[in-house]
Amino acid sequence: MLRRADDLIRQARDKWAELWNLVRTQLTVNQSAKADIVVDGKSVLANVPVTTLLFLDKQVNDLETFVSKLPKPDPAEEWAHDPNSRLLCGKANESLRTSTEPTVIVKYPTTTEHPAQTELFTKDVPVVTGTQILYSGRIATDRKNSILARVRKLQDAIKVAKEQANLFGVERQKAAEVLFGYVIGE
């Protein structure tokens, strides 16, 4: 079967026309569709393009993963924030350091008939009292939970903004007809 070049061009044009028009329409919507990111009734970011919303959606999900993996201090300890060191500070624990000293006790004194009966034992003698304060660079549990709660609110706000931006109506854009008309000369 003999094919004509014009028929091949028309078939190619039909296939490309659909794709080019669809992509132009989608990109036009992405350039025009915008929404505000609103958290707790306040606009955090205004007129955010849908492409930026898609980017932020992924980034804020990564932020949630990062924050959730931040180490927390040992819950067995009682922690408070130390403003001087900007670290968490544990309760001061006093400890007594002892030294072991040998001690002899005389059970029976020496007599003319028998030597003294003694027993050697060790005795713990206090040497010094020390104070131990633990410091931690980890994030306080209540602060971590607070940050995670705000990240999750922001995630929800971005999802709502994406939905609002996607409601933006646009006319179907045409690129292929004009471009093929130029190339083919129609």
Q: What would the two tokens of residue 27 be?
A: 């990109």
* Distance set, CA 47 to CA 29, 41, 125, 178 (Å): 14, 16, 74, 32
Q: How confident is the model at residue 149, as a pLDDT?
A: 97
Q: How confident is the model at residue 1, as a pLDDT?
A: 62
Q: Does 109 fall in a domain?
A: yes
Q: How confident is the model at residue 165, as a pLDDT?
A: 87
Q: Does 80 fall in a domain?
A: no
Q: How confident is the model at residue 186, as a pLDDT?
A: 62
* Same-domain status, 63 and 145: yes
Segments of the chain assigned E as strands: 34-39, 42-49, 79-82, 87-90, 93-108, 117-132, 135-136
Q: Does 62 fall in a domain?
A: yes
Q: Does 36 fall in a domain?
A: yes
User: Assign residue 41 a region: left if phi > 0, alpha if psi is -120 to 50, beta otherwise?
Assistant: left
Task: Provide block-wise average pLDDT over 10 residues at a time, the chain (186 residues).
Answer: 81 89 84 91 94 95 97 91 92 89 89 89 89 91 95 97 82 79 77
Q: How confident is the model at residue 33, as a pLDDT?
A: 87
In angstroms, the CA 156 to CA 148 distance is 12
* Same-domain status, 29 and 67: yes
pLDDT tens readout for residues 27-42: 887 788 899 999 999 9
Domain that holds residue 116: 96-124
Q: Identify any residues that bridge with 135 across adjacent strands, giving them in sequence order.
A: 89
Q: At 109, which amino acid appears?
A: P
Q: Which of 91, 83, 92, 72 is nearest to 137 (CA)?
A: 72
* Same-domain status, 63 and 111: no
Q: Does 178 fall in a domain?
A: yes
How many folded domains does the chain comprise?
2
DSSP letter at 113 equals S
